[in-house]
Amino acid sequence: MTTARVGAMSDLDLAEAHRLHAGELLGFAVNALRDRGAAEECVQDTFTRAWQARATYDATRASLRTWLFAIARNAVVDHLRVRERRQRRAAAAAAEAGLEARVVPLHRAPESAVVEDRLELAWALAQLSPAHRRVVVAVRLEGLTYDALSARDGVPVATLRTRMYHALRALRALLEPEGEQ
């Protein structure tokens, strides 16, 4: 094992990781699931999975934040799959009882496409550096002007515009399907 690879539990402080990243992971999960209780379960599951897989974390391949977001994305997708299975079982039980039940498979429902898009966007934003992510979120999602953001953060407008340019290029590369690049 190389020194860059973090595998020992003493090297990977999950309590500190939880303190630093749990809030963002919760926001990501709430945004994807639209259910705070389910999102909290996903965040808890994320840190359980991270603890179980701590020997596989390699700091040379991804930041701890990126690694945790990848685990969280998988936890959210798994939660959606369980939700779909429960919905199908309920519909089958209702059909056996002679009741009408409407089953909407999550992978085909319009809401699931939105959830998947949100998951993909949140994952892609997590891949950006904090400075690049901050300018994209502030300008594109919060609706701030470059001047307002410059005044708020004390960063020159030209620097913010350059960061936005590079952030959008990176997002495009991450989000475009392989054949369209």
**Tens-digit pLDDT profile for residues 17-30:** 999 999 999 988 98
178 pLDDT exceeds 70?
no
pLDDT tens digit string along 74-128?
999 988 888 887 777 777 766 766 665 554 444 444 456 667 777 788 888 888 9
* Fold designation for 128-181: Arc Repressor Mutant, subunit A (1.10.10)
- Work out the pLDDT band at 177, boundaries 50, 70, 90: low
* Fold designation for 1-108: Rna Polymerase Sigma Factor; Chain: A (1.10.1740)
**Residue that is written with structure tokens 């319009």 in the block:** 110
* CA–CA separation, 71 and 171 (whole Å): 20
**Residue that is written with structure tokens 């993909």 in the block:** 120
Cα four-point dihedral sign 66, 72, 76, 77? positive
Domain segments of the chain: what residues? Answer: 1-108, 128-181
Tell me the average pLDDT across 153-179: 87
Please write down the HEC assignment for all residues of 90-155.
HHHHHHHCCCCCCCCCCCCCHHHHHHHHHHHHHHHHHHCCHHHHHHHHHHHHCCCCHHHHHHHHCC
| Angle of CA points 79, 114, 124, to nearest 5° | 80
